[in-house]
Structures are given as structure tokens and as C-alpha cells.
């Protein structure tokens, strides 16, 4: 459904989704391949690429960022 909507030009500034969608690596890669902005929740133990082709757990990435990297919205 998302692919059809984007293919016909439905305006979409970004795609958002919960942890179920964020846990779908194929979906994340597909959105990246389309250069589509997205915000998807991921489980803390989800392996993500970090600083090159290395997988690191999401919580470890978050812990490694300095306090100034975070902003409350």
C-alpha cells in the first residue's frame, strides 16, 4: 500500500511507524533506497549499521551519543 501511494505521488514528508515496522529491516532498506525520510521505532536490541558496515545494538548506539545529540520535542 505504501509503495503504491508513493509511486503515484501521494505527498509524504516522512513515514512513521512503531516497533513492529521498525523491526522490518527490508522496509527500512527499501525506504532508504527510495530516499524517503522515515522515523521508525526499533527494539533496543535491534542490530543497526553504525559507522560503517558494522552492526551495533540500538541501545548501545544511543548510549554512545553525547547529551548534546538529544533534543526533547
Total tally of structural domains belonging to the chain: 1
Whether 73 is covered by a domain: the verdict is no
What pLDDT is recorded for position 52? 85
What pLDDT is recorded for position 62? 95
pLDDT band at 59, cuts 50/70/90? very high
Is the pLDDT at 21 greater than 90, yes or no? yes
Whether 60 is covered by a domain: the verdict is yes
Across all residues in the chain, what is the average pLDDT?
95
Whether 72 is covered by a domain: the verdict is no
Whether 33 is covered by a domain: the verdict is yes
- From CA 4, how far away is CA 34, in angstroms rounded? 13
What pLDDT is recorded for position 22? 96
Domain of 20, in residue numbers:
2-67
3-state secondary structure of 20: helix
**Which residue, among 50, 38, 44, 40, has the nearest Cα to 18 in the 3D structure?**
40
Whether 23 is covered by a domain: the verdict is yes
Whether 57 is covered by a domain: the verdict is yes
Whether 12 is covered by a domain: the verdict is yes
Amino acid at each position: 500500500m505504501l509503495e503504491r501511494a508513493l509511486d503515484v505521488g501521494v505527498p509524504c514528508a516522512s513515514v512513521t511507524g512503531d516497533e513492529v515496522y521498525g523491526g522490518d529491516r527490508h522496509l527500512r532498506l527499501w525506504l532508504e533506497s527510495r530516499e524517503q525520510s522515515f522515523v521508525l521505532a526499533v527494539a533496543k536490541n535491534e542490530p543497526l549499521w553504525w559507522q560503517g558496515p558494522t552492526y551495533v545494538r540500538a541501545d548501545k548506539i544511543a548510549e554512545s551519543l553525547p547529551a548534546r545529540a538529544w533534543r526533547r520535542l
